[in-house]
């Protein structure tokens, strides 16, 4: 059966969780953008520091033209979106990687650790997706000098009689078959987007565009990359509308989208107060 974009359009979702990702509030972000801009089918939308792509995916789910979306990231996500957009991501190769993952859940962590120790290869995008799914706390995976970089990977965990959490924790989130299905949907539904594996400062920005920036928040893990977004905003705000996600208010026109959840963590209880989520809007003052 030949799959079409329409078969997936309402079902697209990120491949896996990513620290700092906006999957839970992407619809709120798009709502604010629509209320504060004249975005339409001809608008160019730049998604800078796009990561797992929550906001662009939500735009496509709402019918936005993929040809007008530019996704940029200096992490491996940028290379993933480049290949998804230009159609060079091979689902056949990815299927081979999925099939090689041990069927015994208790052995997956060891397999992932060995994959992590191997030098990066020509198929590093496919390897990256597996490593990111297994990353403890969904912390970002990246590479430097042909070596993978991160902290640790999930282990299969079962609740004990005294555990507050009653469900198991799998070594991959999502598990392999679900990951494959999500990526297959994206390879169809997001085809045509303009993906760049590059420094955001090196991307040509066309005037009268909408630019959404989701950098690592101040005082949080930087995932191995830096971006002076305030300098970027000063450079482009007079000819474009810029929306910045941050953990604080940085503009007069800002919206607090904080999503405070009561649950979380391996025990089922959230130990830290949730970070605030602010959308800061910058544009030329008429």
* pLDDT tens-digit readout, 239-255: 999 999 999 999 999 99
Q: Which of 7-16, 98-107, 197-206 has the lowest mean pLDDT?
A: 7-16
Rg (CA), the chain: 19
Q: Which CATH superfamily is domain 1-286 in?
A: Vaccinia Virus protein VP39 (3.40.50.150)
pLDDT at 2: 44
- pTM score above 0.75: yes
pLDDT digits (tens, 9 = 90+) for 217-229: 765 554 556 789 9
Instruction: Return d(Cα 88, Cα 86) in angstroms, integer.
Output: 6
What are the φ/ψ torsions at residue 92 (nearest 5 degrees)? -65, -45
Q: How many CB atoms lie within 10 A of CB 234?
A: 12
Domain boundary assignment for the chain: 1-286
Kindly give the pairing relationship between strand 194-197 and strand 69-73.
parallel
pLDDT digits (tens, 9 = 90+) for 184-203: 999 999 999 999 999 999 99
**Distance of alpha carbon 276 from alpha carbon 256, whole angstroms:** 7
From its phi and psi, is residue 206 left (phi > 0), alpha (psi between -120 and 50) or beta?
Answer: beta
Looking at the DSSP bridge assignments, the partners of residue 213 are: 48, 244
Give dist(CA 72, CA 1) in Å, integer.
Answer: 32
* Residue 268: C-alpha distances to residues 157, 163, 166 (Å): 13, 9, 8
pLDDT confidence bin for 273, thresholds 50/70/90: low
Q: What are phi and psi of 106, to 5 degrees?
A: -70, -15
């Amino acid at each position: 059966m030949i799959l079409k974009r329409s078969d997936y359009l309402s079902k697209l979702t990120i491949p896996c969780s990513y620290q700092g990702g906006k999957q839970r509030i992407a619809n709120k972000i798009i709502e604010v953008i629509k209320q504060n801009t004249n975005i339409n089918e001809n608008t160019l939308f730049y998604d800078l520091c796009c990561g797992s792509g929550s906001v662009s995916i939500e735009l496509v789910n709402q019918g936005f033209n993929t040809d007008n979306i530019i996704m940029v990231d200096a992490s491996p996500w940028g290379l993933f979106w480049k290949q998804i957009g230009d159609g060079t991501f091979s689902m056949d190769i990815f299927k081979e990687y999925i099939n090689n993952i041990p069927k015994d859940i208790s052995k997956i962590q060891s397999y992932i650790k060995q994959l992590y120790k191997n030098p990066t290869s020509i198929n590093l995008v496919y390897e990256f997706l597996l490593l990111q799914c297994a990353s403890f706390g969904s912390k970002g995976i990246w590479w430097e000098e042909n070596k993978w970089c991160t902290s640790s990977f999930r282990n299969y965990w079962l609740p004990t009689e005294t555990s507050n959490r009653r469900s198991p924790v799998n070594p991959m989130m999502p598990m392999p078959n679900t990951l494959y299905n999500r990526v297959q949907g994206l390879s169809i539904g997001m085809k045509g987007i303009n993906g760049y594996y590059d420094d955001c400062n090196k991307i040509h920005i066309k005037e009268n565009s909408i630019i959404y920036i989701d950098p690592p928040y101040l005082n949080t893990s930087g995932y191995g990359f830096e971006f002076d977004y305030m300098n970027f905003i000063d450079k482009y705000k007079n000819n474009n509308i810029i929306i910045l996600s941050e953990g604080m208010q940085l503009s007069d026109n800002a919206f607090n989208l904080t999503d405070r959840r009561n649950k979380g963590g391996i025990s089922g209880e959230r130990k830290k107060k949730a970070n605030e989520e602010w959308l800061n809007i910058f544009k030329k003052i008429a």
